[in-house]
Structure 1
Amino acid sequence: MDTHESTFPLIISVDDHTVEPATVWQDRLPEKYRGTGPRIVRAPVKEMTFLGGRFKPVMGAPGDEGPVGDWWVYEDLRRPLTRLDTAVGYDRDEIRLEVITYEQMRPGSYDVPARLADMDVNHVQSALCFPTFPRFCGQTFTEAKDHELGLLCVRAYNDWMVEEWCGPEAHGRLIPLTLIPLWDPELAAAEVRRNAARGVRAVAFSEIPPYLGLPSVHTDDWDPFLAACDETGTVVAMHIGSSSRMPSTSADAPPAVGSTITFANCCFSMVDWLMSGKFEQFPNLKVMYAEGQIGWIPYILERADVVWEENRGWGGVADKVHRPPSELFAEHVYGCFFDDAFGLRNLDAIGLGNVLYETDYPHSDSTWPKSREVGEAQMGHLEPEVVERIVRRNAIELLGLTDDGLWDGAR
């Protein structure tokens, strides 16, 4: 572990990412599915754009001109590995939307010992990691044609996550985050319980399910899944982009527009949950917003309380939301940030117990390898016990870690 003199606590990051090794599904799927299940193919790219929040890569054929990269191939899907999947270690101005191979990425993206070494460099003790190929909540498998295969893919990913990525080689420093078959809430509930039985306390979910063609949280459709989370203490983890639609303003808006307003999906989602009645229906339910930052939260809570107080009679929530939304937020919602000086200056309006720290390794927004320095600069005005709470203690309590900040399986 880094021995640089510092009183800044060892970081527990609640939002990092793993780039899945090429063999995750090929090693675990029944033989009859290996030809259609996720696999890696090396091929050139013919065209690739990311405009208006939409990523559109076109895979070339062998012999075609164009940069060569590693592509995930699954049913009709062709999804390349890109520099944005794993940008740490590169100068900011050198990061482009380009295809890459595994050899061109930092090994810590997919290799456990290398990841732990990069965590050491960054003053990080433990990390919760979101997927890459399945996308942030398993949309890849939800959109596929064959849901029997999709369910096997979800379970294979979860087995790899628990048994290998967070297995003995990780020494408790990698915290499992699992997926569900989003197309079937009953199967989703069963998968939550299957993983909770082996110590998993976090599951990925979509910030705005209707964007995926799924029911909203205002319906009863998700109740079996939410009941399983409520009963097992499993946190519903929602990452920006887990609705497969990044915020943008027009079809030709450059990526910089969407990148500036990524928090908007979290904002919309949080209001959905606060006005849904689900937090009163499922009193142990907890949700967290990865990479959403926190500075926007105070005004939204203020506005939600005003609407609830003054407009609930005609607003459609009087019969299901019986307490001010800000009170529900304090008991059920966690905001996650890696770089938000404004939010930290307004911590009292957010709630000390509702804030978690992250490093976003290995993405282009990541503060690696200076997450400690960023934290020290932005939290310098806070008391040590407050910093400890933000950087470690809230995550330990939320994710059921040991007092030392490690994941200990089915304790």
Structure 2
Amino acid sequence: MRFISADDHVIEHPEVWSRRLSKQKWGDRIPHLEHQADGSDCWMIDGVKHRLLSNGSVGALMADRGAEPRAWSAIPQTAWAPAERLKMLDAAGIDYSVLYPTIAGIAGETFGAIRDPELELDCVRAYNDWLIEEWAACSSRFIPQCIIPLAPVDAAVAEIKRAVARGHKGVIMPPVPRHLRDLPHINDGYYDPIWRTCEELAAPLCFHAGGSPELQMPAYERFSPAIAAAFDAIARPASAVPIVSNLIVSRVLERFPNLNVVFADTSLGWISFALEATDYEFEQFGVSEQIPYELKPSEAFRRQCYVVGWYDQANLRRACEYPGAANILWAARLPMADSSWPDSLSGGEASLQGLSEQTRAQVLWRNAAALYKVG
């Protein structure tokens, strides 16, 4: 059985920005590593200090999955070197790997918070170019996805077109941009040019859970890094519910019927609740009588949306029935601490045990192959 992992992450090398941004123009505002007196490293981005890595970002590569590297030298090469990552794909039985960022923010939100649009754009373009020049150039088995600047919207549209022309297969953005800057609500027509461009280029729009952490309850500050990472992973899926509801209520899916939307790192248990609840409340509150909707919320979702699972068992079987196997993608979640590595393919096949060969193929690779136009 083939396997396309629909949610893996790269760890960006420090040279991504130092080699591509003008030192003369931007100076120390360029994203770079700084060595601390205690021996640890941190990122400095536009004068703001950021942790070297968020909890659990490379846990699958560590002897202790709860361990957090404190210095760049402690991060295994497999996290940031594409040739080494290919060996990991081979060992896990993965044919293709869909890539999301880490340092740039799992949805590009780190750069979305930069208030200088010119610096934001330069940082975004550097990441997008690096992913093509280093990862996609290493192997066609890596499926690159671009991040975008959030303002002005015409810069986002131009970058999507440029990035897709270079080989990017998907478009990643934070689900709640207004949490980052003074920007309109995601329902606002301000974003229509982005939806339209993704639709015209047949590039799926990808929302990664955790990309707008304000949608989640924060972890208790006295939690250990391992407990905080586990808490965050448990809480993240629920953040997808308001995003789905917003896309439906604002009629984004209806107005852009060929726009595909991916909800990554959400697992599958939430989706039946979200769709059943939205259908029910739409009917109870007479929403469709106030604003004519062509489809029920669940029907619009089935037509255009995908959710990504990786550990689900009982929830996978339920999701294959509702909304249906055609809406499910599977992932290994490399190299995250909650990755199914090293049993990614065998674990996926075990979760699908007893389901039809067609359903198993849909979930493990066919849906992703059609969405990203590979294989």
**Worse-superposed segment, 332-341 or 141-150:** 141-150
Alignment counterpart, residue 218 of structure 1, candidates 187, 198, 213? 187
In the aligned structure 1, how far is the partner of 2:132 from the partner of 2:231?
A: 36
Does 1:31 pair with 2:3? no
Q: State the SS of the aligned residue for 2:125.
A: helix
Alignment counterpart, residue 151 of structure 2, candidates 170, 179, 183? 183
Q: How many residues align?
A: 366
Give the TM-score normalised by the residue count of structure 1.
0.84
What residue ranges of structure 1 are gaps of 5+ in the alignment? 1-8, 44-61, 406-411
Q: Deviation digits for residues 43-99 of structure 1, max 9, x if unmatched?
A: 2xxxxxxxxxxxxxxxxxx3xxx4x2232212222223246221113355x514x44
In the aligned structure 1, how far is the partner of 2:193 from the partner of 2:335?
A: 34
Alignment counterpart, residue 386 of structure 1, candidates 349, 352, 359? 359
In the aligned structure 1, how far is the partner of 2:78 from the partner of 2:367?
A: 26
**Worse-superposed segment, 68-77 or 322-331:** 68-77
**Residue 361 of structure 1: aligned partner:** 334
- Deviation of the 1:249 alpha carbon: 6.7
**Worse-superposed segment, 30-39 or 321-330:** 30-39
CA RMSD for the aligned pairs? Answer: 2.0
Q: Is the Cα contact below 8 Å between 2:117 and 2:152 reproduced in 1?
A: no
For residue 233 of structure 1, what is the amino acid of its counterpart? Answer: A
**Residue 164 of structure 2: aligned partner:** 196
Q: State the SS of the aligned residue for 2:332.
A: coil
Identity %: 29
Q: State the SS of the aligned residue for 1:15.
A: strand
Structure 1 residues 212 and 35: CA distance shift in structure 2, 3 A:
closer
- Deviation of the 1:198 alpha carbon: 2.7
- Deviation of the 1:246 alpha carbon: 5.6
Structure 1 residues 258 and 244: CA distance shift in structure 2, 3 A:
closer
Q: Is the Cα contact below 8 Å between 1:17 and 1:130 reproduced in 2?
A: yes
For residue 165 of structure 2, what is the amino acid of its counterpart? Answer: A
Structure 1 residues 320 and 21: CA distance shift in structure 2, 3 A:
farther
**Worse-superposed segment, 332-341 or 214-223:** 214-223
For residue 22 of structure 1, what is the amino acid of its counterpart? Answer: P
- Deviation of the 1:375 alpha carbon: 0.9
Structure 1 residues 318 and 234: CA distance shift in structure 2, 3 A:
farther
Q: Is the Cα contact below 8 Å between 1:72 and 1:78 reproduced in 2?
A: yes
Q: State the SS of the aligned residue for 1:197.
A: helix
- Deviation of the 1:121 alpha carbon: 0.9
**Residue 81 of structure 1: aligned partner:** 52
For residue 90 of structure 1, what is the amino acid of its counterpart? Answer: M
**Residue 62 of structure 2: aligned partner:** 90
For residue 340 of structure 2, what is the amino acid of its counterpart? Answer: T
Structure 1 ranges of 4+ moved more than 6 A = none
Does 1:371 pair with 2:344? yes
**Worse-superposed segment, 120-129 or 195-204:** 195-204
Q: Is the Cα contact below 8 Å between 1:211 and 1:245 reproduced in 2?
A: yes
Alignment counterpart, residue 280 of structure 2, candidates 300, 303, 306? 306
Does 1:242 pair with 2:242? no
Structure 1 residues 253 and 326: CA distance shift in structure 2, 3 A:
farther
